[in-house]
Amino acid sequence: MEDNLQNPQDYSQMMPDYSYYDPYAIRVSFGRRLGAYLIDYLIYSLILMILLFATGKFDEILSISNNGSLDLNAMLEISNSITPLALALSLIYYSLEAFIGATLGKLTLGIKIASVDQTPAPLSKLLIRYFVKNISTVLATLGLLVSLFSSIGSILGIIVFIGFFFILGKKRQGFHDMIAGTTVFYNEDIIQPKNDEL
């Protein structure tokens, strides 16, 4: 029995296995992605306000609110004139994700969109992700041409909104990420391809 106690191989069977590796741990969490969205929303809102000032639409909004009475027709008219500007700005601003893999909010927080295998996402995946993520805005823009798309866009937008909460799951992927085969990583965790792989 003394020989068994001196043999370290027998004790190795009693040690806990610490070799578990969580492959999803390096993915960016919901909180940081929400922070990037809030930064983007602030930047988008500031640019929209500047455009409203530049086009004189802000003065129209103030004239309705300073009038003291609620003129629904005037409010609807201003809303109809502002909506195309807001939609166009949204499509342009958030298209940064499709072309550089990050918005200004993501860049500020040091995160970027990549393929699930941690390699830089190709343009095709980024465009699919952009379209799915912004389907409500894309179809609402098309809805200016055809009103049916606006209703469909709203329904799909609600589905995608619910899909944002999938980021809280273990894989930390939103619905739009799952469809496009992408997710968000810290910049330093993205594996760059070798020159011969390009």
For the beta carbon of residue 122, count every other beta carbon within 10 angstroms. Answer: 13
Spans in the chain with pLDDT lower than 70: 1-12, 65-70, 148, 196-198
Q: Is the CB of residue 132 less than 8 Å from the CB of residue 180?
A: yes
Which three-class secondary structure state does DSSP give residue 184?
A: strand
pLDDT of residue 142: 80
**What's the pLDDT at 9?**
61
* Residue whose C-alpha is closest to residue 115's, from 172, 166, 177, 61: 177
Query: Per-residue pLDDT tens for 90-141?
Result: 999 999 999 999 999 999 999 999 999 999 999 999 999 999 999 998 888 8
Q: What is the pTM of this model?
A: 0.72
Q: What are the structure tokens assigned to 144, written together? A: 């200016």
- Structure token pair of residue 106: 């993501």
pLDDT for position 167:
93
Distance CA 115, CA 181 (A): 6
- What local confidence, expressed as pLDDT, does residue 62 receive? 76
Compute CA 38 distance to the chain's CA centroid, rounded to the nearest angstrom: 10
Neighbours of 62 (CB within 10 A): 10
Comparing CA positions, the residue from 99, 86, 108 lying closest to residue 37 is 108
